[in-house]
Amino acid sequence: MEFKKMWISDNSDGTYTNPVLYTDYSDPDMIRVGDDYYMIASSFCNSPAIPLLHSKDMVNWKVINYVLNHVPGERFFNPEHGCGVWAPAIRYHNDTFYVCFPMPDEGIFMCTSKDPYGRFSEPVCIKEGKGYIDPCPFWDEDGKAYLVTAFARSRIGFKSILHLTEMAPDGMSVIGEGVHIFDGNETQPTIEGPKLYKRNGYYYIFAPAGGVKTGWQTVLRSKNIWGPYEEKIVMRQGDSDVNGPHQGAYVTDTNGDDWFLHFQDVYAAGRIIHLQPMHWENDWPIIGIAKDGNDYGEPVKTYKKPNNLVTNPYCPDDSDDFNSDTLGLQWQWNANYSNEWYDTDSKNSRLILYPVHKETTCALADTKNLLLQKWTAPEFSTVARLNVSDLATDDCAGFVSLGVIFGGLGVKKTDTAYNIISIRGSQTFHNEKATSTETITTLETVNKLTELYIRYTVKQISLIDSKPSETITFEYSFDGINYTKAEDEMEAVAGRWVGVKCGLFCYNTVNTNSDGKLYVDSFIFAK
């Protein structure tokens, strides 16, 4: 089945319109290898982890792989919202793809692969310790290697400082403790997300400062990798509606033109991806377009494409009719997953979810086997077609919306009937630990039920000072035609460092070994 594309940035006339992805690929990094572009992003506690996307023009993107099957560490077999894999970096060196990623409570890790579509090596911890984040490896012309990092105040007690460590040439360990190379506390507060490059004899560190939603792009340069570094702000929001503009990557395309890919935090939908032209003046980059003689750029809305190779614009998958032998790459679990949680049934074009036991004190948001995906547009509807005929007694299954404010709509099977249930809840965080509360309301009871359709609608209700505001509506139907609204609209509020996700749940709070099954026939997005 061919599905409707939810967000296309390519205008099919040699131009594109930002954002290139209206999807929460936070903290992106990008490289070019030959004619191909590769991008990775944060994934926090979700698995598989670290999505890897491919493009031919930096405008049209597809998810092609994940770097990790599971987040390292036993703690991630349960949701640890806001923890796990933070901002990663990708580099290509000696015919090898290197992915370096931080876990703020554990340290800095490295994975490698010769094939971006293949399996990556198991992660190696190259620097243990709390608080080191946003690593970027760099190989110099003399064969020496380095690692630049930032710091998370929540773990180490300070921030706004960049740190440089020499790294073994194979990238699998660091040499010594390294030194602080830049203190931004006075002029570049909350400087983070450093990416290290070299051009015309200068070492450049691209790093956002000023905060995710309120900041700007800073670039540091020095003739010596250890500094001292000069500093310059090279992109501001200016008159654009792109707040932040935050962390990203500098790449030169196949025509020799320079570009900068970065994210913008749009609150509930998360951190969406923009592409900016870039040029150089006096060996300083200007990102975006400089206005009225400014020595910094502002983000562009519509611009000529880097390359005009793509004739049929595309975007990452979202809708799914489950006709594959493998789970689609748009899906991630709420924690490290088990293959026992699901089966693919391509013969019957359906996904089978098995109820996983959870304690009654565990809220929906903290359920480990939530099957989730990102929002893919500012407004949309999604319809999940569920077959509940093989659910067992006390099984609960349905559609989930996951954010700090979360909710669900589905069915609970009893001995004699099916209860249509609505779940509403919220999370609060203290020292990165979530406390979740929820209420479950029975909306309707039916004696027999085979198919249940659940419609999830996201509507943008305002856009004030570049801050969008959305509502979420749940509805259910027994025939796919006539829908009943579940409860009042929910406010859409992002999760811990992530945008709102939507997906499916299937659990049992009574039986530890339920033999029930939920059949998911389709999960379809539409505008």
Residues designated catalytic: 27, 192
Residues 6+ apart with CB under 8 A from 456: 381, 382, 383, 384, 399, 401, 409, 472, 473, 474, 502
CA distance 271 to 481: 34
Q: Hey, what long-range contacts does 321-326 have (CB within 8 A, 24 or more apart)?
A: 321/1, 321/349, 321/521, 321/522, 321/524, 322/346, 322/349, 322/350, 322/351, 322/520, 322/521, 322/522, 322/523, 323/1, 323/349
SS3 content of the chain, % helix, strand, coil (to 5): 5, 50, 45
With CA atoms as reference, report the closest residue to 304 among 30, 5, 18, 8: 18
**CB atoms inside a 10 Å sphere around CB 471:** 16
**CB atoms inside a 10 Å sphere around CB 200:** 8
Which CA distances in Å does 241 have to 300, 443, 470, 497? 10, 41, 17, 21
CA distance 304 to 499: 29
3-state DSSP assignment of residue 267: helix
Question: DSSP state, 354?
Answer: P
Yes or no: say if 126 and 172 are a contact pair by the CB < 8 Å rule.
yes
Helix (H) or strand (E) holding 153: helix 153-156
Whether cis (ω within 30° of 0) applies to the bond prior to 378 is no
Structure tokens at 245: 């503009």
In the β-sheet with 258-265, what is the strand arrangement from edge to edge? Answer: 248-252, 258-265, 271-281, 284-287
